[in-house]
Structure 1
Amino acid sequence: MKKAQKVISLLLTLLLCLGVMAGCQPATQSDPGGTTAGGVTPDKSSPKETTAAPKETTAAPQETTKGTDPEPEKILNLAWHSATGTDAMMESPFSDTQSLYHMFIWDSLVKLEDGLTRAVPMLAESFEFRDDGMALKFVLRDDVKWQDGEAFTADDVVFTLKLAGKLPKSTHKPIIRSIKGGEEFIDGKADEIEGVTANGNTITLDLVIKDLTILNKFASVPIMPVHLLGKADLAEADKYTDFWKHPIGTGAYRIDEIKYPDYFTMVRNENYWGTPGGFDKALFKSYQAGGAETQFAALISGELDLAYGNEINDISAAQNTVRQNDKLKIQMANDVNYRRCFVFNMVGGTDDKYNDIVRKPEVRQALNLLIDRESIAAFYPEQGLAMTTQLSPTSHLYNKDIPEFKRDVDKARQMLEEADFDFNKPLRLLYYYDDQTSADVMEVVTQNFAEAGVKLEPFLAKGDLSAIIYEQKNWDMLYGAFSSNDPVLNYSVLATTEGSLAYLGTDPTYYDRKPYADLFNEYFATATDPESVKKVCDQLQVLAAQDSFLLTIYGLRMLFIYNADKLVVSQNIMNDLPTSFGSHPHLEDWKLK
């Protein structure tokens, strides 16, 4: 069991995700519930009223010839997303990657290209697997400086790995567990990660198992400065205000001015090691109080140049917005890369209303039969697809031997009666998307359940979503999301007690993660063998359907809206962003007209 746990890795890519499933968005993880891993964090942004204006740039104007006006500063206007709010400090990318500012300010060792499938050098100028895949070596660049002028070194990478293992809400713990001594470090049995070796500008990682997917996962790990964050307790470092009040990185842009809780600005990093970014300045404005409508209004008025996230991801609302401003365009992913799901609370909450009947697999299977997936997916024309597994029916990895889903109220009622289901005790369904379509989905599901005599009480969670979902846990079912460039990895959350599905608990009577762990050990070791990957994927889909901890309802092609009259960026980049912190942003190609 211990050995199996060591090797679980997941991508939490994000956006969105269950990220807190948070992320979900919460969302990155994802949603708080992330991506976790693979997850997207909940997007609760809307503009606040403010009379303060961003300060003027402090850069001295360039010399110009007489009679020639200086070229006006080009500013990219974006939304400031944060699951933890914008009142006091910036959010940590180790638990919340909703905002694009993360990829502006921080770099990782590698980034992903070619549809998020191929790792390319970033802070690491080269990398290679050794010892038949049991070791991974990174050679770091020697020309990188932090935005305060300090040199970037291997010590920063070692510190970041320790941070990823100790932060309670870190979405990267599975990566650390895959390194020799990582589990002992996370559990407090060791002060260092045994398998991490630094020698000059070289980092070598000794792995506990052959994992051919681990390199790509490092694309989502932002490297942090030990000379600033090293003063904090590792377990509390994401709350270390001396740093998060005005964080720095090694990225192409640095934070210039912050006015909590209204906005912050970013300008080019004059010490950047790579090609400078393509725009002068970015203004991130908080949209924390008004919901999706305020962001749509800001797009129409020209206040926002790019908008995305859970609340924006509605094709009907997006099309209505674009009709009111002909400069706006909708960018939609080529394939389903975002999945809405129901998950179950297997551990109970802090009140006395927990309905422990959901611990029975036959009850979860019966509830699954009640859900009208087609009607729910139809709320998203051109965008939604009814699904029964994390793999799209159009994917070559989809298990076609799984019977086609058919809603069956009579069978569900019979199964519930045989399981001694108490039809007088309601099930509480938590959701955190405050758009109208999500409210409509809740009405459909409530009616679906009522047809079998099941009382469902949906409620919209507001406030600290992470605390509501993971600490209070006063809910029986949760409506959240997964987002990952590798949908197979969405199942990896079922193989670990950490991450977005931590509320499944550790009691093997109700939830046995070992079968999932064993399958993922095989997946990681054979990730380049198509036949082996297909075999593992087939087994994962069957196992997940039997357990029904995670009910996939529908998938969405993610979308975002941008001002094409102002923002110029390549189509390939638009396809990848903003769904993953791990994607290469190529900020040098972001141009403003």
Structure 2
Amino acid sequence: MINRREFISYAVASAGLSIAGVPLSVLAQENKTAINVLVQPEPSGLMLGLVQNGPTQLVSGNIYEGLLRYDEKLNPQPLLATSWNRSDDGLTYTFKLKPDVKWHDGKPFTADDVVFSVDKFLRKTHARLRSGLAALDTVRAVDPLTVEFKLKYPFGPFISMFETGTMPMVPKHIYENTDFATNPANANPIGTGPFKFKEWVRGSYIQLVANEAYHTKGEPVVQSLYFHVVPDAASRAAAFESGKVDIVPGGAVEFFDVARLSKLPGAAVTTKGWEFYSPHSWLVLNNRKAPFDNVKFRQAVMYAMNRDAMTKVAWQGFAKTAAGPFNSHVKFASDKVTQYPHDLDKAKSLLKEAGYKGETVKLLPLPYGESWQRLAEMIRQNLTQAGIKVETVGTDVAGWNQRTSEWDYDMAIIYVYQYADPALGVARTYTSHNIAKGSPFNNIEGYVNPKADELFDAGAKALSDADRAKAYAEVQQLLTDEVPVAWLHEINFPTLYRTKIKNPISSSVGLNDGLSRASIG
């Protein structure tokens, strides 16, 4: 029999293709100048204006930049813009750009690039940003280093839309008058960021190298970033344990492995760097069909679940029981709402009031690994204990996407990013105008309440924070009474890293825009 250390070495050699893809002699030579990061799964593309999934943001957030970045309190900080102001009526935002910024091909970055990126490129390609840009009337270059945005109406979260993944700047001189989707530059992305694209060996690794002409003095600190593609969670854990990988982003290894790996010599773990995304999970309940069309049944589901136990077993403590529809990092979140502690007697009473006859309901787990399967099993057990007959229906990621997007489910586990502001990442789940087949990340439960629509609209358009807070407090109380979905947890994704890596997290989007400041001690 082989011992654990021999098994780890074997696993890295046989399954960790990206580690083998970069010769170990090269990694040894670069151990003071390169940082090795896992990326899971492999990105589908690196052109951040076209692809916005998590793996792409992890890699390409170091290639591209937005006008602003945000600290862990979600306060805007300078990046490509040095200053900004808003008119008293809330309709005009003016940004001053940083001088002497250059694209990776040496061309100057100017206000014309901003206008092109926002008004031409991203309006067409970036679905999440496009909904926010509905409030934008015009954007114009006042001069080469000044950009003016005029809104149709006050839109409170507008200043929160300028981070790299939400509003990446793209080079006008490369993309103007081209087919954005087929432009050859997509395979060799050109940004203004601290690292430049060098190489992508599919199925193995992506290498970025330092931008020697970067506009911030002293950055980046290291010369190379390697993003390794390792095919399964056990092999990713082995790659970190064996020392071949320096950073494991949140979710790249199973949660039950994190505590063990964080105790290794020279290892550490942090949950910082997710504040802007504010990951929130829930059990989607299909409000269109019985028994989920009855609010008492939906409330019974909430009381039946032991969500505190789930945080300990499924998430190993890296989660917080959700108070309601807003992650606590989101602006205007309130815990002064109807609460649902684990109470089987209350659940059974509500099921009786709802007239539940014992029909079987189907549960669609999120197929993102063993931790999510454990969560699904705990949900099934809890609901069964309350008297609800549950059948678990397994599927792969493509099948899950299709079934939820087409509303072909009874209950489904999901998590979404809430993007710091309720108008950007919360309202989409509950407003009736956001009921549309084709995406799992809108109002797929089919919840319709004109009052909720009115309150979310008021919260988005109110000029003062006090008025916004009032509208959002009322809508949170309304939603927790009506339970359109069964809220589960705020997920605190843990990032594992070697303690020799200094300052890996420096903003509310963590690794996605901070590796230029990371160093090797």
Fold agreement, TM-score > 0.5: yes
Q: Secondary structure at the match of 2:486?
A: strand
After TM superposition, the structure 1 stretch with the greater mean CA deviation from structure 2, 258-267 or 532-541, is 532-541
1:306–1:562 Cα contact (<8 Å) kept: yes
Contact 1:105/1:249 (<8 A) preserved: yes
Shift of 1:71: 9.0
Deviation of 1:199 after TM superposition, in Å, equals 3.3
**What TM-score comes out, normalization by structure 2 length?**
0.81
Shift of 1:170: 2.3
Q: RMSD across aligned C-alpha pairs, in angstroms? A: 3.6
Q: Cα distance, 1:97 vs. partner?
A: 3.1
**Alignment map for 1:28-39 (pairs within 5 Å):** none
How far did residue 445 of structure 1 move?
0.8
Residue of structure 2 equivalent to 1:560: 495
Q: List aligned pairs for 1:365-384, cutoff 5 A.
A: 365-379=299-313, 380-384=315-319
1:53 matched to 2:22: yes
1:198 aligns with 2:141: yes
Aligned to 2:361: 426
1:179 is aligned to 2:122: no
Match of 1:246 in 2: 188
How far apart are 1:421 and its partner, in Å?
A: 4.9
Query: 1:41 — aligned with what?
Result: none
Distance across 2 between alignment mates of 1:468 and 1:76: 37
Q: Which residue of 2 aligns with 1:578?
A: 510
1:313, 1:559 within 8 Å by CA — same for their partners in 2?
Answer: no
Q: Give 1:286 shift.
A: 0.8
The answer to whether the 8 Å contact 1:431/1:458 transfers is no
> Could you tell me how far 1:150 is from its partner in structure 2?
2.6
Change (3 A) 1:313 1:537: farther
- Residues 568 and 513 of structure 1: is their aligned pair in 2 closer, same or farther, counting only changes over 3 Å? farther
1:282 paired to 2:222: no
The equivalent of 1:163 in structure 2 is 121
TM-score (norm 1): 0.72
Deviations 1:496-533 (A, max 9, x none): 6188632537x7xx52466245345335534543xx45
Cα separation, 2, equivalents of 1:117 and 1:393: 12
**Aligned partner of 1:445 among 376, 379, 382:** 379
Q: Which residue number in structure 2 is paired with residue 405 of structure 1?
A: 340
Q: Does 1:261 align with 2:203?
A: yes
2-side partners of 1:438 and 1:266: how far apart? Answer: 32
Q: How many residues are paired up?
A: 489
* Offset, 1:222: 1.0
Instruction: Report matched runs for 1:458-497 at 5 Å.
Output: 458-464=392-398, 467-468=401-402, 471-484=405-418, 486=420, 488=422, 490-493=425-428, 494-495=430-431, 497=434
Q: Deviations over 1:45-96 (max 9, x none)?
A: x844675436999xxxxxxxxxxxx9976111011234xx44x643646531
Aligned to 2:46: 90
- Structure 1 pair 452–72 and aligned structure 2 pair: CA distance change class (3 A): closer
Give the distance between the partners of 2:110 and 2:274, measured in 1 at CA.
39
Letter of the aligned partner of 2:514 in structure 1?
Answer: P
Counterpart residue type for residue 449 of structure 1: L
Checking the alignment, whether the CA contact within 8 Å between 1:73 and 1:281 is kept in structure 2 is: no
Q: Is 1:551 aligned with 2:486? A: yes
Matched, 1:303 2:241: no
Q: Which residue of 2 aligns with 1:214?
A: 158
Q: What's 1:351 paired with? A: none
SS at match of 1:104: coil
Change in CA separation of 1:52 and 1:522 when aligned onto 2, cut-off 3 Å = closer
1:304 & 1:469 partners in 2: Cα distance? 36
Shift of 1:210: 1.8
Amino acid at match of 2:452: P
User: Contact (CA 8 Å) 2:249, 2:495: kept in 1 or not?
Assistant: yes
SS in 2 for 1:426: strand
Give the aligned residue type for 2:309: S
SS of match in other structure, 2:127: coil
Describe the superposition over 1:246-265 as per-residue Cα deviations: whole angstroms up to 9, x where unpaired: 22211010111111121110
In the TM superposition, what whole-angstrom CA distance separates every residue of 1:350-406 from its partner, at most 9, and x where no partner exists? Answer: xxxxx6643444443332232121221222454333233145789996656534423
Equivalent in the alignment of 2:235? 294
Greater percentage in helix: 2
Q: In 2 relative to 1, CA 370–254 (structure 1 residues): closer, same or farther, beyond 3 Å? A: same
How far off is 1:429 after superposition? 1.8
Q: CA deviation at 1:297?
A: 1.0
Indicate which of 170, 173, 188 corresponds to 1:227. Answer: 173
- Is the 8 Å Cα contact of residues 300 and 322 (structure 1) preserved in structure 2? no
**Identity of aligned pairs, percent?**
19
**Map of 2:63 onto structure 1:** 105
- Does the Cα contact within 8 Å between 2:407 and 2:444 map onto a contact in 1? no
**Contact 2:330-2:419 within 8 A present in 1 as well:** no
Supply the distance in 2 between the matched residues of 1:306 and 1:277 (Cα, whole angstroms): 17
The residue type paired with residue 214 of structure 1 is F
| Contact 1:213/1:527, CA 8 A, preserved across alignment | no
Q: After alignment, is 486-495 or 443-452 more displaced?
A: 486-495
Distance in 2 separating the partners of 1:47 and 1:252: 27
SS at match of 1:501: coil
Distance 2:31 2:441 in 1: 49
